Structure 1
Amino acid sequence: MAKKLVLKKLTILATTEKSGNQFTFGNGINLITSSENSVGKSSLIKSILSSFGAEPFYDKRWRDLQCNYLIEFCIADKHYKIARLKNEFYLSNDSNKFYYDNFKDFSKKISELLNFNPILKTRGDDYIYDIAPPAYYFISFYIDQIKGWAKAFSSLDKLGQYESWHNPILDYHVGLTNSNIMNFKLKISEYKKLNHSAERKKEKVLDSITLVRELLADRVSSFENEILNDKSISTTTKSLNNSAIIQPSDNSKLSNIDELNEVKKLYEETLNIRKEKYDQLALVKENLIEFKNQSKFINSNIIELQNDYYFSVESLDDVVECPLCGVSHNNTLENRTDILLDADKLNNLLSEVNLEIETKEKNASEIKKSIQLLDNQLLEYDNSINSFNSFEDTINFYSNQIIEDKSQRFISKQIEIIGENTISIASLEDDLKKLEESIDKKSINNSFKEAIQYYSNKLSISIPDQSIPSFKQYSKYEKNGGAADSARSLLMYYLSLYSVISKYSDEVISPLFIDTPNQQEQSVENYLRILNSFKNDLPNDTQLFLGAMEHPLIDEFKESCSKIYVLQDYQKLLNTKNYDNLLTEFNSYISTFA
């Protein structure tokens, strides 16, 4: 059974005019009504959402009040409190206390409590993803009086920080994705971000090499001239190792200048060979990544074919229906044999690919050994060069080569990081695919369409399209007939969505917040249909917060409500008489975090 978020009590304190109020809530329908406008019906609902960090649309007068909030709620019989002071949040449960002055950290904690973890791409950055803040949780459960009845998911402010958020949020709400799937997607996005960073570092190093070459060109040339003109250089040098990969010319009569040039030439040749080896190693590693990905893909296909075969053997029918997609397939002996033949072909291909992997790994190992030998050779040349001049001049002379050497190592390391990350991404994507395939998408989509048909009848509103638009085609429910019909059409959509969420989502189920459903002066018959749907047709144990003007139908509806707040001109949402007591209670809670 799905866990539910049940709101218990709300305290509002307006600091600028020193007024406030406290409201306790019932587990069923909470009716907030009045015979006049602008007495606080909408603000009470909005204050609940604000206490969780959402940003409703307030008018200037309310914003100027600079309200603080204290909300008490339960999840699976565990009691929680949140106090909000501007952008500070104080969260507690029966045994723990958490203080947040960073909204992103608070959002993560609320997402954890609500088990609501869809990830959203930050606008303007392809590699930064965040877990959706609380506003994206409540947006599917709230219809604002002013903006919510004209356009779906427009009842909260400041939702534009993430690109294309509607589909991932809806997928999570209805159960097409869940926390496990989101964890895989978040890990994949982190690896992709690391790859992007490694690629950028590699490009920066390549650009830097070009710049350093230009800067050191004059200094190296100057050092060479100094050596040619310096007659005091010792003629004694260290001998080169006989096992060097590239040997100097056999000329015992070389002058110290000629010998230096000879060593320099050998050093540069060896450095170039070493660079070629690193290039070869990078290519082999890229090939390894490709073959390993092929191996995983082939192996997963073999497993799927084996499962298909076992499923076909267990069924005696000549035609079987896929349990995932619902497509019918022939199941004759010939079809079963074809499955085995396909599996054999894939097994042969897997053997070939694994042999390539073994060969490439051996090549990589041999190249690494060659690079180590070249490193030893370069060290021999370094020692020889050091005997010709001072340490400082030697460093200057070889700066270009050293930088290129270090850069090549760094670039190779970045390629290796990218390769390892790519393998991890492929593995995670394989696991992600299996998780996504385990979701019963067909049942979820059918459930939404059934709910639309149900509420279409209850609310006396036509369905926008004969094929019944899916839950992602919400815009088709916004303009569906005249103004009054369109309002009921949008309500039909929200109630159907809530029905599917309650049935399939693994998130904590939110209350519904519906403000002034008697939009566009619904006829008495249609307004009665709306109220009856709230009373009779919501999922069991739904907590509903309903803002409504006084109406003859509301008088009868009150009998079905667990809590009623009647706001009148003489008793608006906030008052001054209990402010001091409420402030003391509020400060007492805050003081426990000291």
Structure 2
Amino acid sequence: MERFMIKKLIVISDIEKASREVNFDKGLNIIIGGNKTGKSSLIKSIFYTFGCEVKFESDWKKLISKYIIYFSYGMNEYCITRSTKIFTIFKLSGNSNGIIKVQETDVFHDYSRTFMDILGVSMDCLTTKGKMISATPPLLFRFQYIDQDIGWSKIGESFTNMKYIEQWKSNTNKYVVGFQGEDYYTARQELNIVKDKIENTKVKLNHFNELLKSIDDNSKLPDGLNNEHNYTANNSTRLLFEELNVKEKEKIEREGQIYSLKNLRYEKNLELTSIKSLVKELEDDHTFALEQNDTIKCPFCGYDHENTMIERIEIVKDIQSANQLLKQLRQELKRIEEELDSLHDKKSQEERRYKLIKNEIEKKQDATSIIKTFRDEGKKELLKNGIAEKNKLETKLSQEFGEKALVEDKLKSFDSKKRRTEINKKLKSFFEKILAEVNVPLSTIKFSDFVQTLNKLGSELPRIIYAYHVGLYLYNLDRGRSVFNFLVIDTPNQQGQVLKNLQNIDSVLRHLLLEEGQVILGTERLTGYEEEASTVTQLDYERRCLLAEQYEHHVNVYENLYRESLE
């Protein structure tokens, strides 16, 4: 995974002819605003734009017509717009063609699948109706947000569009800590591919078993057929049997052709995925090169390399070549699909003719006698070829079962007690550190699927939740770059809060200044870290969060994304 960072939020109200822009950077970002200044609504808008359903104040939902969120993932810059249920994803950098519209859709799961592809998330989920889908933004980001309301009484339940997913808590708990992360879901996909291969081989093997049984059964003549006359067939029946023989061979050949094409399609799709990954790496290199001077220090090997216009042009040429190869592969895949469709049509026609011939033979009085003639004239060859092909398929099936066993062993390793213990221990070390700073006893710690159980009530509960989220955030920072390198905290209203809770929230902020990550903090009061924060946004007036000054500019920004983008 790469580093994920939110860059900017823009909300636009066409009703009020007003808008608001909030910029973010790495490290700590603070939004200061009292009650009814729009602080929480702005913070909720971040996740709403990504597709996480949140509980807005009714006025806000009526006012805002367009949302824009800018973010980076790795070396690439992206932007998502949301208007009611329509999501549009734009790629802003990492290509030589300017802005590219990646997708525009009002189908939430189609949008989610594209967004997960951008983030390199392979996690798949099953809905309560039995439909397999990709992970969705609310599932992915459930631990990245403490909202002002439910977020201080429950962990990871701030979004409302998660509960239609089977085992949504358990699966995301394990994913966010890496117990069953990307490697696990990649292995699951490998297992599904192997299972498909096994099923295809079984179907073919069953076909040959049925064919060989049919040949064997048809070779056994009833008693009493010892008169030469009984072995003589009339011409029409003989011709039918000869055609049946041809159709049987065509059937076998067609299955082989279809199987070969399916294998070729699988190989071409692997090539396509590999080249897409290469293009992304080249685009990242090009973006990185553009940001550097004429001499560049490689972030991997540490050596200095020339970074002149010639080297940059060479990267662009490589990108163009790779894109041309992608185009060719897509054309080949299209041709393969067309050939498969044609073969399936031929197979259907041949099967209909095969059944018709069998029915005709069954009507003939001398069908039994002709079997002897048919057997003598070529059935031995068919039997020999059938047995040879059956042996090949049995060997292939055995190899595929071996491959399946290896992948299953790999999957089991992701569920080992030793691994679970190691992750729990490491996560607890970060959690303990923060618990101690917010004055909560360490005996409070009790994990269930890597998430703190909440048995305590009273003033300690918000501190436990806060400590867990911060501990998990620091744990993931320690693991390296990932989509979990950010945390958004909307502190509870001062009214009704124990002063100790509010002071404890501020005391931990020194851990959230790390530039390897990003924290967005919404607060009603000064924290003492404003000078050390990367950005500070001040909201001074009640119900005047939106401003008229930049409305026209922001509308133009929104419209230009659509005007200037390429499909």
TM-score surpassing 0.5? yes
Match of 1:547 among 499, 515, 522: 522
Greater C-alpha radius of gyration: 1
Q: What TM-score, normalized to structure 2?
A: 0.61
1:112-127 correspondence runs (5 A) = 112-125=117-130
Q: Which letter maps to 1:460?
A: N
Match of 2:528 among 556, 561, 574: 556
Q: Cα 1:134–1:198, aligned 2, differ >3 Å: closer, same or farther?
A: farther
Task: State the partner residue of 1:63.
Answer: 61
Task: State the partner residue of 1:24.
Answer: 23
Task: State the partner residue of 2:550.
Answer: 578
Task: State the partner residue of 1:534.
Answer: 509
| RMSD (CA atoms) | 4.5
Q: Deviations over 1:299-344 (max 9, x none)?
A: xxxxxxxxxxxxxxxxxxxxxxxxxxxxxxxxxxxxxxxxxxxxxx
1:111-510 correspondence runs (5 A) = 111-125=116-130, 128-189=131-192, 244-247=219-222, 249-250=225-226, 385=362, 387=364, 425-433=404-412, 440-463=419-442, 465=444, 468-470=445-447, 472=449, 474=451, 476=453, 478-482=454-458, 484-504=459-479, 507-510=482-485
2:109 equivalent to 1:109: no
**Local SS of the residue matching 1:54:** coil
Match of 1:514 among 466, 469, 489: 489
Q: Which letter maps to 1:85?
A: S
Q: CA deviation at 1:163?
A: 1.0
Q: For residues 461 and 589 of structure 1, what CA distance do their matches in structure 2 show? A: 49
Match of 1:79 among 67, 71, 77: 77
Q: CA deviation at 1:439?
A: 8.8
Q: For residues 143 and 70 of structure 1, what CA distance do their matches in structure 2 show? A: 21
Q: For residues 577 and 93 of structure 1, what CA distance do their matches in structure 2 show? A: 26
Q: For residues 119 and 474 of structure 1, what CA distance do their matches in structure 2 show? A: 21
2:97 equivalent to 1:93: no
Q: CA deviation at 1:92?
A: 0.8
Q: For residues 76 and 486 of structure 2, what CA distance do their matches in structure 1 show? A: 16
Q: CA deviation at 1:81?
A: 2.1
Task: State the partner residue of 1:566.
Answer: 538
**Local SS of the residue matching 1:22:** strand
Q: Cα 1:499–1:518, aligned 2, differ >3 Å: closer, same or farther?
A: farther
Q: Cα 1:42–1:174, aligned 2, differ >3 Å: closer, same or farther?
A: same
Q: Cα 1:193–1:123, aligned 2, differ >3 Å: closer, same or farther?
A: farther
CA contact (8 A) 1:444 1:504 kept: no
Q: For residues 193 and 387 of structure 1, what CA distance do their matches in structure 2 show? A: 42
Q: CA deviation at 1:543?
A: 1.6
Q: CA deviation at 1:441?
A: 4.1
Q: For residues 415 and 513 of structure 2, what CA distance do their matches in structure 1 show? A: 29
Q: CA deviation at 1:462?
A: 2.1
Identity of aligned residues (%): 23
CA contact (8 A) 2:513 2:533 kept: no
Q: For residues 439 and 174 of structure 1, what CA distance do their matches in structure 2 show? A: 15
CA contact (8 A) 1:3 1:509 kept: no
Q: For residues 156 and 101 of structure 2, what CA distance do their matches in structure 1 show? A: 30
Q: Which letter maps to 1:559?
A: E
Q: Deviations over 1:267-305 (max 9, x none)?
A: 9xxxxxxxxxxxxxxxxxxxxxxxxxxxxxxxxxxxxxx
Q: For residues 146 and 541 of structure 1, what CA distance do their matches in structure 2 show? A: 28
Task: State the partner residue of 2:292.
Answer: none
Q: CA deviation at 1:149?
A: 1.0
CA contact (8 A) 1:173 1:507 kept: no
Q: Cα 1:577–1:250, aligned 2, differ >3 Å: closer, same or farther?
A: same
Q: How many pairs does the alignment contain?
A: 408
Q: CA deviation at 1:535?
A: 2.4
Q: Which letter maps to 1:6?
A: M
Q: Cα 1:76–1:244, aligned 2, differ >3 Å: closer, same or farther?
A: closer
Task: State the partner residue of 2:213.
Answer: none
Q: For residues 357 and 448 of structure 2, what CA distance do their matches in structure 1 show? A: 71
Q: Cα 1:75–1:561, aligned 2, differ >3 Å: closer, same or farther?
A: same
CA contact (8 A) 1:13 1:69 kept: yes
**Local SS of the residue matching 1:139:** coil
Point out where structure 2 has 5 or more consecutive residues left out of the alignment.
203-217, 242-354, 367-389
Task: State the partner residue of 1:38.
Answer: 36
Q: CA deviation at 1:159?
A: 0.4
Q: For residues 73 and 557 of structure 1, what CA distance do their matches in structure 2 show? A: 24
**Local SS of the residue matching 1:148:** helix
Q: CA deviation at 1:42?
A: 0.9
CA contact (8 A) 1:31 1:558 kept: yes
Q: For residues 555 and 506 of structure 1, what CA distance do their matches in structure 2 show? A: 28
Q: Cα 1:141–1:379, aligned 2, differ >3 Å: closer, same or farther?
A: closer
Q: Which letter maps to 2:424?
A: N
Q: For residues 572 and 379 of structure 1, what CA distance do their matches in structure 2 show? A: 79
CA contact (8 A) 1:99 1:593 kept: no
Q: Cα 1:150–1:532, aligned 2, differ >3 Å: closer, same or farther?
A: same
CA contact (8 A) 2:512 2:519 kept: no
Q: Which letter maps to 1:169?
A: T
Q: CA deviation at 1:154?
A: 1.2
CA contact (8 A) 1:499 1:539 kept: no
Q: CA deviation at 1:491?
A: 0.8
CA contact (8 A) 2:11 2:64 kept: no
Q: Cα 1:181–1:98, aligned 2, differ >3 Å: closer, same or farther?
A: farther
